[in-house]
């Protein structure tokens, strides 16, 4: 059973970098509902439309627009807000974009991590820090089994490699500056997330939504690639659990994979089949596999034995349920419905609450 202590976060000062992004917006919604004092530090929302605006977050938190590469500004935010818990989600998160602008990708994903850890080092108010990376940090051998936390780190493309570097930076800071245990330091390596409110380019579910909105067939670029797809709420509640547990006891600090069970590691084509079935209206997709595509891994799975063993954590939603929730959210949005209410409904559903 997933572990989330709503009362733990009540009144806690929490800083979320990347709060205007897809996962950051969902995380802030959860924290606000739990009664946390939330500060966000991020650039302006990366898409239009965007979940941050739709979720009605700005009036319920301290939202600061800034660049993670701007150490002076970031340090000032730490001075002013004195966070106890820090979730680091700010990143350039798109593989294909990293080929177009590798320098910006490395500046954001590597030096951004240096900057946030330097602020944590200089501000003893921080008791718990979690760096959110990706399943793509591992050296990918196209194995059929999942990667474990002790496998070599060496992402291929600039995005994946920069996140591998972010992991190494975190390891070094943890060993060099936080060995006294005052501040617990962890990273979480999550698989591909889906869910309502993702409008990013070059992601399969947003591509599906855009095709539906335009009344066109869905084009699928890599239909045979296997990925550990999961609803965004799965890793987000895992992040919250890790941050709490290590806050209470530093022995829980470490490196954690967060992904679905093997039965939910599906190909992109299978994922789109599920989307079409859940949506209805005889929705279809076209195979648009690229013959000269930029390199992306074909087969990628995570071994999540560690987080299951240490915390008793388990994924709650299978992939079909994750798709259904994504479709439900999208239909509310297309019908100009109440997005905050739909998000709260899905959060309660995930936690097993009836009302």
DSSP string for residues in 252-285:
G-SEEEE---GGG-EEHHHHHHHHHHHH-TT--E
Return all residues near 210 (Cβ < 8 A) that are at least 6 apart. none
Name the 3-class secondary structure at 300: coil
Which residues face 194 on adjacent strands? 231
Cβ distance 74 to 68 under 8 Å? yes
* 315 sits in which H/E element: none
Number of domains in the chain: 1
Say what the pLDDT of residue 294 is: 55
Rounded to whole angstroms, the Cα distance separating 201 from 324 reads 21
Phi-psi region of 256 (alpha: psi -120 to 50; beta: other; left: phi over 0): beta
Q: What is the mean pLDDT of residues 275-279?
A: 95
Rounded to whole angstroms, the Cα distance separating 321 from 318 reads 5
Has residue 119 been placed in a domain?
yes
Domain boundaries, position 83: 7-351
Cβ distance 207 to 219 under 8 Å? yes
Write down the residue that tokens 């995005």 correspond to.
Answer: 159
| Most distant pair of Cα atoms in the chain: their distance | 59
Mean pLDDT of the chain, nearest integer: 93
Has residue 92 been placed in a domain?
yes
More confident position, 215 or 70: 70
Has residue 2 been placed in a domain?
no
Rounded to whole angstroms, the Cα distance separating 153 from 164 reads 6
Write down the residue that tokens 């859940």 correspond to.
Answer: 278
Q: How many residues are listed for the chain in this entry? A: 355
Look at 53-57, 226-230, 293-297 and tell me which has the smallest mean pLDDT: 293-297
Q: What are phi and psi of 349, to 5 degrees?
A: -60, -45
- 10 Å CB burial of residue 338 (0-12, 13-18, 19+) is exposed
Structure tokens at 82: 């004195």
Residue 62's pLDDT band, with cuts at 50, 70 and 90, is very high
Look at 227-231, 254-258, 276-280 and tell me which has the smallest mean pLDDT: 227-231
Strands (E), the chain: 13-17, 37-42, 62-65, 85-88, 128-132, 184-190, 193-194, 218-220, 226-227, 230-231, 255-258, 266-267, 285-287
Residue 297's pLDDT band, with cuts at 50, 70 and 90, is low
CA angle 313, 315, 318 (to 5 degrees): 165
Q: What is the mean pLDDT of residues 142-148?
A: 82
SS3 annotation, 124-152: CCCCEEEEECCHHHECCCCCCCCECCCCC
Residue 1's pLDDT band, with cuts at 50, 70 and 90, is very low
Has residue 1 been placed in a domain?
no
Rounded to whole angstroms, the Cα distance separating 64 from 72 reads 14
DSSP string for residues in 66-80:
--TT-HHHHHHHHHH
Residue 282's pLDDT band, with cuts at 50, 70 and 90, is confident
CATH number of the domain at 304, please. 3.40.50.720
More confident position, 225 or 105: 105
User: Hey, what's the torsion of the CAs at 129, 17, 93, 212, to 10 degrees?
Assistant: 120
- Asked whether the bond before 49 is cis by omega within 30 degrees of 0, the reply is yes
Residue 198 pLDDT greater than 70, yes or no: yes
pTM: 0.95
The secondary structure of residue 316, as a DSSP letter, is -
Phi-psi region of 260 (alpha: psi -120 to 50; beta: other; left: phi over 0): beta
Say what the pLDDT of residue 293 is: 54
- 10 Å CB burial of residue 351 (0-12, 13-18, 19+) is middle
Write down the residue that tokens 């330097």 correspond to.
Answer: 118
């Amino acid at each position: 059973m997933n572990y989330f202590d709503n009362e733990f976060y009540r009144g806690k000062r929490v800083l979320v970098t990347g709060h205007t992004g897809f996962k950051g917006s969902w995380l802030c919604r959860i924290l606000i509902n739990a009664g946390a004092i939330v500060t966000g530090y991020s650039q302006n929302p990366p898409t239009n439309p965007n979940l941050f605006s739709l979720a009605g977050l700005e009036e319920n938190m301290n939202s600061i627009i800034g660049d993670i590469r701007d150490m002076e500004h970031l340090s000032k935010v730490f001075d002013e807000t004195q966070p106890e818990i820090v979730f680091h989600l700010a990143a350039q998160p798109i593989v294909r974009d990293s080929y177009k602008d590798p320098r910006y990708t490395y500046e954001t994903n590597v030096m951004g991590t240096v900057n946030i850890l330097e602020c944590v080092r200089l501000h003893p108010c921080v008791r718990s820090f979690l760096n959110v990376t990706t399943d793509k940090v591992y050296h990918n051998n196209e194995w059929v089994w999942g990667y474990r936390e002790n496998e070599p780190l060496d992402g291929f493309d600039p995005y994946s490699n920069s996140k591998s570097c972010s992991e190494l930076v975190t390891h070094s800071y943890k060993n060099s500056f936080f060995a006294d245990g005052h501040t617990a330091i962890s990273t979480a390596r999550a698989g591909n997330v889906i869910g309502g409110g993702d409008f990013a380019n070059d992601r399969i579910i947003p591509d599906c939504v855009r095709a539906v909105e335009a009344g066109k067939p869905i084009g699928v670029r890599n239909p045979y690639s296997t990925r550990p797809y999961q609803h965004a709420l799965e890793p987000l509640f895992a992040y919250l659990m890790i941050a709490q547990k290590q806050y209470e006891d530093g022995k829980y600090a470490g490196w954690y994979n967060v992904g679905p069970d093997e039965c939910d590691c599906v190909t992109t084509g299978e994922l789109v089949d599920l989307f079409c079935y859940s949506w209805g209206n005889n929705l279809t997709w076209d195979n648009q596999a690229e013959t000269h595509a930029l390199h992306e891994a074909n087969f990628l799975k995570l071994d999540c034995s560690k987080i299951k063993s240490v915390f008793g954590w388990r994924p709650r939603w299978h992939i079909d349920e994750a798709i259904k929730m994504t479709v439900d959210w999208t239909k509310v949005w297309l019908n100009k419905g109440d997005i905050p209410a739909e998000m709260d409904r899905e959060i309660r559903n995930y936690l097993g609450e009836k009302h």
